[in-house]
Amino acid sequence: MKTNAKEWWIITIGVITATINAAVFPCFALLFGELLQIFERPNNEVLNAVHPWAALFIVLGIVSGAANFFKVKGERKLNM
């Protein structure tokens, strides 16, 4: 621990982003399962019900992208 005292904040960010990355795929599976249930409805109900779920997929993609960005930045900072 003493040798990594300068990089504790980078390691903390790495742990947080790794946890977020690990949670993305189960969240994606839950969203996808709910979306498949919506497609079983009649056509006029599907169009109204899909928009909030599409927004959640976009948010999930942004969160995943941000977590990967900070993960890569932390890796490069530690390897310099």
Domain extent listing, the chain: 5-78
pLDDT in tens, 12-25: 888 888 899 899 99
Read off the tokens for 6.
């300068």
Name the burial class of residue 74, with classes exposed (0-12), middle (13-18) and buried (19+) by CB atoms within 10 angstroms of its CB. Answer: buried
pLDDT in tens, 26-72: 999 999 999 999 989 888 888 888 889 999 999 999 999 998 888 87
Q: How far is CA 35 from CA 11, 27, 44, 77, 80, in A?
A: 36, 12, 15, 39, 44
Read off the tokens for 11.
């390691």
Q: What is the pLDDT of residue 27?
A: 94
Q: What is the pLDDT of residue 62?
A: 95
